[in-house]
Structure 1
Amino acid sequence: MSTATTQGGPELPQERRLVTEIPGPRSRELFARKQSAVPPGIGTTLPVFVTHAGGGVVVDADGNSLIDFGSGIAVTSVGNAAPRVVERVRRQVADFTHTCFMVTPYESYVAVCEKLNALTPGDHDKRTFLVNSGAEAVENAVKVARHATGRQAVVVFEHGYHGRTLLTMTLTAKNMPYKHGFGPFAPEVYRAPLAYPFRWPTGPDACAEEAAAQAIDMIDKQIGAENVAAVLIEPIAGEGGFVVPARGFLPRILEFCRANGIVFIADEVQTGFARTGDLFACEDEGIVPDIICTAKGIAGGLPLAGVTGRADLLDSVHVGGLGGTYGGNPLACEAALGVLETIEQDKLVERARHIGEIMLPRLEALKERYPIVGDVRGRGAMVAIELVKPGTTEPVPAGPIAARCHAEGLLVLTAGTYGNVLRFLPPLVMPDHLLEEGLSILERAISQG
């Protein structure tokens, strides 16, 4: 049995261990407290209350050890208590927890920005500023694009998810649960077709060309390219179901943006920081965004997000037009530096590719064996299956299979515009034997119909 050593916590055996039903009595007791103290709008995927986590497991209040295929929605890619992160945060918290970078700055904020300027795609001159969440990063990227171009319209895509603030909720495609009842929404947001190979009407081969042509035609006819400040897209659609756009689609959209002075914004909140087998998902097709938004995996679980982009765009904003009280908190900045050290020194980009090499063939085998699995997709350690009625594209809800996995001690997440996708985001530090065991649990759950 392997163990994961976490500074600040015990060695966690890297094993699935069930000592009670899931959830157990202590978690049920805590969940009852949650229901009386927290509004029901804050949902819960699996109501087990965690006491320790690391490597590829989370341990709950009843002593159960569950295999983690969620990583806190792609946040704890380097682990839940990665030693370099823990040590940096421990040192920083003893020095100071906050000053506000806009009042009296500190070096770690600058160091994170320098790293993001160097690591994000493109060798052009860049600037970065830091905020607290993915939604905040996206909202600020749109602010910058509008200010720099003097235009107002923003184009997003079907199946996209960008956050829960007023603007990012508007940018998000799916009504329930993200938008329902929360209108009216922000103006000047337009939605274009996404190249979704599994569901494209004329089939996957024509998907990229046709979807790009439709999107460009929509922009030209309905908006006018000269009125568009930004095109915003996830290189792999996250909450929309891990939809990998057909190859050629993103380069064609980028080419159109370049030709028309439109800012191309890549939302890499879920796909960034080695998750897909590249440091950033847009590298797969050589996409160099004008602005890139990062969050989730950037700081190992501490709230941090970044907006990185062309210097001429970000430098166009007046003093005081960007910022926020907590943006780039020193604890989160130190955590981010620890994350980036861990990714580089532990070769987690390569590790993500290795995880994909384990998971994708086994998922493809499930597709061959069980017709309910209509599609397998993803890259690296960001992969998914889409569930359908056999021989059709009619969605089959993913919830029942997820519930069976949870009962056996495998934490999985659902996704998709139609609620029929099981998505898998294991920590990049998860040992191979837990990946294999988790996939076997998944197969048993699927085989039960």
Structure 2
Amino acid sequence: MKKILCSILFLLSLSLYGNEEIAKWYESYPFPNPYDATILGSSMIMTPGVSEKILKKNYEIPTKEEGELPENLWNHHKFRFSLVKQKQKAPLIFLLAGTGSDYNSRRMELFQRILYDAGFHIISISSQMTVNFIASASRFHIPGLLEEDSRDMYAIMKKAYQLVEKEIEVSDFFLTGYSLGATNAAFLSKLDEEEQFFNFKRVFMVNPAVNLYSSAGQLDRYLNQVTGKDVRNLEKILEALLMKVKEEAKNEYVGLNSEGIYKYFQGNHFSEQEKAALVGLAFRINAIDLNYVSDLLAKTGVYTKVDEHIKKFSPMLSYFAKVKFADFGTYVDKIALPYYQKKLGKRYLKDKLIAESSLHGIEDYLKHSSKIVAVTNEDELILSKEDFSFLRNTMGNRVFVYPKGGHCGNMFYTPNVQVMLRFLKEGVFVNEK
């Protein structure tokens, strides 16, 4: 199956990579609505010939001593990741998950199948916004400052590779990610050029966030249009979702993530505003986790008492009342900013924090690094006009904007897959020969 897919991809690549050819493909793209694309398209393969199943092995890296974490985080003393390996010598690509997504999420699984068929070993790394990463791999337990996050990610990526390096033979190292994972990839590429551990050959960014704070604000606005910022309205939506995904939930809250929300979308009819709200809600669920877990581990005392003893099976839902469905902006204002002001001094202002949560901090690097390219969409839900201008002005012909797809809704569409694989394997991007 792998040989069949590769043959298809590279035969088509001879004529596919101009703007006109891609535009023709998008005349038949199945999700013209950006919300439909984001919710449905981001979780389905739209490329023929991709393997249905591949062998994958999960690993754990011990990072915390028993008793070092609160009891209700008892299962996060080890950092979890996965490896998909080729039988022969092959390039190794690190695959970075989007905001709040785990290494084994649906989107990561689809990427793994595509990249395996293209001949890569794959190490999959969870987002720094997941509970497992915050608890087991984050030094400060306060993610969001992208340079600091990249140092945490780089350290755990090295440990992951060192754990499996005797099992695989590697020719070169590559890096890719989607959404926040794409943004992380840019920072990691810069750090790796300084550290020179992996020496990444090429870096492919899929639908990156330019400014984490403004993107989060946009997603929150989608949700607030329906809830009116009223917690009671949000509770009603969550109750309906909990009923829908209860068969997957291990307690009142586990299992209610972006994938559970997107499953709820299928088979139901929603207005445009309601679709937008579901996209926003998927992000808000992660923000609730982020507020609670960061406060608990960094001992900021916002939602949990510093000396509070939380039992092993304390239900997470009971903390909703304390967190009050807090969004990412609340996380910045109540937890991240005060924490870093205490650490760095009161002169560390919010504008500085927001800037350090943005690609603007590595603008010069992005301008001059020829090994990094990015793709995004005209109807991208998390980018502003200023963000598009930044990408175009900074990366020039190393960024390509597809006509449709919402946020990550076309990652697995045939032309997108071909563009990605041709760059990773040959170093040739759109409109290059």
What is the TM-score with the length of structure 2 in the denominator? 0.29
> More helix by proportion, 1 or 2?
2
What is the TM-score with the length of structure 1 in the denominator? 0.28
